[in-house]
Homo-oligomer: A and B are copies of this chain.
Amino acid sequence: MAGMETIQYNLPQSRIPQAWYNIVADLPKPMAPVLHPGTMKPIGPDDLAPLFPLALILQEVSTEREIEIPGEVRQIYAQWRPSPLYRARRLEQALDTPAHIYYKYEGVSPAGSHKPNTAVAQAYYNKKEGTKRLSTETGAGQWGSSLAMACAFFGMECKVYMVRVSYDQKPYRRALMEAYGATVAASPSNETEIGRAILQEHPGTSGSLGIAISEAVEVAAKDPNTKYALGSVLNHVLLHQTVIGQEAIEQMAMADDEPDVILGCTGGGSNFAGLVMPYLGRKIKGQCNARVVAVEPAACPSLTKGRFTYDFGDTGHLTPLVKMHTLGSTFVPPGIHAGGLRYHGMAPLVSHVMDLGLIEATTVQQLDAFAAGIQFARAEGIIPAPEANHAIAGAIAEALQAKQEGKPRTILFSLSGHGHFDMQSYADYQAGKLQNYDYPEEEIAMALAGLPTVG
């Protein structure tokens, strides 16, 4: 029998990273401080204590390079980590490209995306500090299901405020969270003051992530047994995702290959950061020359079109002010199906490395993203999440450019999750019901005009 080509690079359970990598320790310039929205002064740990356990607050502000992963968290990671690195040989063949295409696949987690990497860690630290219940928001549902699963593992209650439109459109995501034992409410709900106020003013509202965040935060702030958990944006969340990139570095060495370009889709920034931060740490030290590319939806282009300035994390302006690339916190992105990428801002850490010139950014239109996803599925078998289709489109563009130049190129991208709970979007795409969105210039200009004045 002919020899086989390797397409799967697997590490043993023992190679799950021992520590998360904190790039803050290696940054040539420190990040801007987070500001209290009332005083406009830098916030301290006490300001966050009602919402998060101390361990996570300390991670949020840590400047240590390595933060040890607790044994119990690593033990749970072993359910799906180290995640596989694939060489997309059938896709390469379909594209007839000299490029090598690799993807790090996070859809092997039981909840189907990279989100459990931080959900399990957040649940662990909360459990350890006595939290009985976690509250959170979810849009598309990847984050809500991941936290629901993590809470099931640690025997904690989980309360999810799910944006009304998703609650109605994605009953199976809700069924998944409820199978894990979580309680799910459509947001805005009658359970919170802010929810009741909004329902009174807009009885038929379809909700928003901003409103759902406000409800989850309100519940946590009022109940000493409940803390709040966020699935992206914050430093400690991005930190937990760095297992992805650390494993990828080791797996690319197994493949005896080195990426020329590294891509990931960006919404809040956690999946992208998870893959690229360990590489950027090397880049800062001159040990890596790869171009690092954030791929965002044309309809919500915070890195490519946003302003790098202080803004609120939510539409209701309850959160602290963070310096980030933002389209304006009152901007409501068009209804693209990649719900996980519909966020007005970008993680401050990702914004910061963009500002430092360590990464670049590009945009992909919705129809191009789905076309890429379909091509990928037919070659590689995996149905990608609509969010991940943006990274695939970016990778295919790189591979075709290499073909045009007639030169090799090694491409590595993050396939953040599968699309098993997003099949309606594929059905709509195949039926010709989806559309592209022009850059919403006026709406963004208006939202940016309303930015808070700082300093």
Let me know if A18 is at the binding interface, CB within 8 A: yes
- Which residues of the partner chain B approach A176 to less than 8 Å between Cβ atoms? 383, 423, 426
Q: Which of A7, A381, A383 has the most CB of B within 10 A?
A: A381
Binary CB contact string for chain A from 68 to 104 against chain B (1 if under 8 A, 0 otherwise)? 1011001100110000001000100000000000000
CB <8 Å contact, A108 and B108: yes
- A residues 175-217 in Cβ contact with B at 8 Å: 175-176, 178-181
- Which residues of the partner chain B approach A8 to less than 8 Å between Cβ atoms? 13, 78-79
A383 and B6 CA atoms in complex are apart in Å by: 30
Let me know if A65 is at the binding interface, CB within 8 A: no
Asked whether A4 and B74 contact (CB < 8 A) given A90-B153, A427-B171, the answer is yes
CB <8 Å contact, A10 and B10: yes
Q: From residue A45, how far is it (CB to closest CB) to chain B in Å?
A: 26
CB <8 Å contact, A110 and B180: no
CB <8 Å contact, A179 and B13: no
- Which residues of the partner chain B approach A111 to less than 8 Å between Cβ atoms? 381
- Which residues of the partner chain B approach A178 to less than 8 Å between Cβ atoms? 426-427, 430
Number of interface residues of A (CB under 8 A): 56
Partner of A180, one of B2, B5, B16, B377: B377
Copies in the complex: 2
Q: From residue A31, how far is it (CB to closest CB) to chain B in Å?
A: 29
CB <8 Å contact, A4 and B172: no
Q: From residue A242, how far is it (CB to closest CB) to chain B in Å?
A: 17
Let me know if A374 is at the binding interface, CB within 8 A: yes
CB <8 Å contact, A381 and B4: no
- A residues 233-287 in Cβ contact with B at 8 Å: none
Partner of A374, one of B79, B174, B179, B430: B179
Q: From residue A329, how far is it (CB to closest CB) to chain B in Å?
A: 34
Q: From residue A18, how far is it (CB to closest CB) to chain B in Å?
A: 7
CB <8 Å contact, B374 and A68: no
Let me know if A112 is at the binding interface, CB within 8 A: yes
Q: Which of A10, A112, A424 has the most CB of B within 10 A?
A: A10
- Which residues of the partner chain B approach A14 to less than 8 Å between Cβ atoms? 4
- Which residues of the partner chain B approach A13 to less than 8 Å between Cβ atoms? 4, 6-8, 10
Let me know if A12 is at the binding interface, CB within 8 A: yes
Let me know if A382 is at the binding interface, CB within 8 A: yes
Known: A1-B70, A110-B383. 7 other contacts (CB 8 A): A4-B14, A7-B78, A7-B79, A10-B10, A79-B381, A172-B427, A180-B377
